[in-house]
Chains A and B, each alone.
Chain A
């Protein structure tokens, strides 16, 4: 029983950063941006949230600063590839290198203090046997996901802005003809991804650990990309993918401790393989038709 609770608890903690990022990446990809700088955004959110909390002394301020750091990364990315026409993948890869170097560099030069978000207990629900404590006694930022997920879905699927965004992802030429500023919508989608992924990074560092470690995101940004693909470009599917991948990670960490043998390499590779398989077999219809293709007026 205790083991199940442990695994469930760490599933929540390991899925949450992915889920925050998946919200934003879902929006960005619906607009046609295949954003591979999530890793940079997570790192920025993680490091600058810890630094921000250390400077201001407030965890909430740390989270806000982490979000802004994620947004700053997305601002560079959006303006280089959706205002100017630099290749989005090159910009994304380079931003990952830049932020990994920058956070490592600043970590050695500045030494932020330890701060951590408080743990809260949701009354009544926490008393449910087995699943109560792991789900309802967590660091408070996890629960920001509860409003965030419906918000992202509503933005994309129920607002005018979302309709225009999806048009930019499906057929940018047609969207352009109807008077939508395609690259502006795409920039806005990326900004949203920067904000939520920065929040995810802040949760990872300031929420769970209270510290920033070198390269603490360890490729989680790409796991978010895999989750979006695995979920067939539907928000629910993407969040499901995040929970599955977080759960796999939790098992990999927990099972050896309770005496089961696992093949760690296979478990680590599993999410990526699942995403490739999902994309090759099903989950094909949801892919925005112009995903990853730059838009330039007059150039097809």
Chain B
């Protein structure tokens, strides 16, 4: 039995602690930058700001419920983005798929009559299908014309916003008739009985069942990507498409399928938001899609990390509403969020760089040993 080469295994344990140090350092720098901005530009102190954020997000059962409510669409989008990124495709269009999903759900909700037990599930299914179809355009163009998925999904975001805007400006599609002189560009309100049921007391801890759906999806996604043959092939495709093809993977079906599936998740997130939180289709940009994408990317493909990070993003949203009282513009939340994302990108990249430097040292010292060794007669 050979002993394992010490250079390549001895730092395994050190890796974890090094990563923790790097993450703590990067996040501290981000928060330090945000604090500096608060101190320089406003009259408030960073302590007041974090207190306000805490009050809005975690201080009471109802605040926690509100945080979870904000986190749910982000979580569902992120689960879809995880599937796409496992396959090596970069779906940058969850925002558009979310919007189209909302509109598709709205069409079923308001155009189809029937009891809630029928309409509500069909609304969610339609939302998922809408998102899947929107991602499907990119998958189709990739399969048929080889067009870059990054570019198409990016551009389709802006088309999607106009598609939704078109729908909520047409009475025959989604626009509400209020009887006033000018109707705002929005759909009617979802009726009480057609909303996703809620758990808990209205004044205390209170979440909608969409969050439970998100948790079930999280478990399903974890199982599918890490325990099934499909998940293994997906990862193979992501790491090395040529090897995957040689192993008999149909690149178009598997890759395109992952893209469409991630679109379905984003669309479903739109449907959940529509039936649980928003209750209207509007043409505004809600950013749940972009945030979900970022959550998936900074969690580096781990479902176990996606859930808490999505909740943290939800907390920034729910806490942001409480910033007004401190006199700090609520846009501070966007700044904090962006700085945290940038900081969270750094540790793996820096660790990677350090590992490379280490490998180079090993190679160089090996080369020196060879040079100093006596020449082998040939």
What residues of chain A have their CB less than 8 Å away from a CB belonging to chain B? 34, 36, 76, 80, 84-87, 89-91, 93-95, 97-98, 100-102, 104-106, 108-110, 219, 222, 225-226, 229, 263, 265-266, 268-269, 272-273, 275-276, 279-281, 291-292
Contact = CB atoms under 8 A, between A and B. Distances in A.
Given A87-B345, A102-B335, A279 B151 contact: yes
B226 to A, nearest CB: 22
Interface string B335-378: 10111011001100110110000000000000000000000000
Given A272-B158, A273-B159, A90 B297 contact: yes
A195 B331 CA distance: 26
B125 interface: no
19 contacts: A36-B92, A76-B342, A80-B345, A84-B346, A85-B349, A86-B346, A94-B294, A94-B341, A95-B338, A97-B337, A100-B334, A106-B41, A225-B154, A229-B151, A229-B155, A266-B162, A276-B156, A281-B145, A292-B148
Contacts of A85: 349, 352-353
Nearest to A108: B329
B145 A280 contact: yes
Contact of A108 (B37, B331, B349): B331
Nearest to A229: B151
Contacts of B165: 265, 268
Given A34-B150, A94-B294, A265-B163, A101 B92 contact: no
A264 B166 CA distance: 9
B251 interface: no
Given A105-B335, A106-B41, A97 B345 contact: no
Please classify how large the interface on chain B is, using the bins under 10, 10 to 19, 20 to 34, 35 or more.
35 or more
B158 A91 contact: no
B290 A269 contact: no
B90 interface: yes
A105 B329 contact: yes
Nearest to A109: B41
Q: Which 7 A-B pairs have the closest CB atoms?
A: A101-B334, A98-B338, A269-B162, A104-B331, A105-B331, A265-B166, A108-B329
Contacts of B339: 98
Nearest to B40: A109
Given A91-B345, A265-B166, A98 B335 contact: yes
Given A101-B334, A273-B159, A280-B141, A110 B41 contact: yes
B169 interface: yes
Contact of B42 (A80, A109, A219, A280): A109
Contacts of A281: 145
A97 B334 contact: yes
Nearest to B287: A97
A89 B151 contact: no
Contacts of B331: 100-102, 104-105, 108
Contacts of B156: 272, 276
A147 B276 CA distance: 55
Contact of A84 (B147, B334, B350): B350
A101 B338 contact: yes
B261 interface: no
Contacts of B162: 265-266, 268-269
B332 A105 contact: yes
A109 B159 contact: no
B82 to A, nearest CB: 14
A279 B158 contact: no
Interface string B42-80: 100000000000000000000000000000000000000
Contacts of B345: 80, 86-87, 90-91, 94
Contacts of A222: 154-155, 157-158
A229 B141 CA distance: 15
A102 B156 CA distance: 26
B281 interface: no
Contacts of B166: 263, 265-266
Contact of A275 (B145, B155, B346): B155
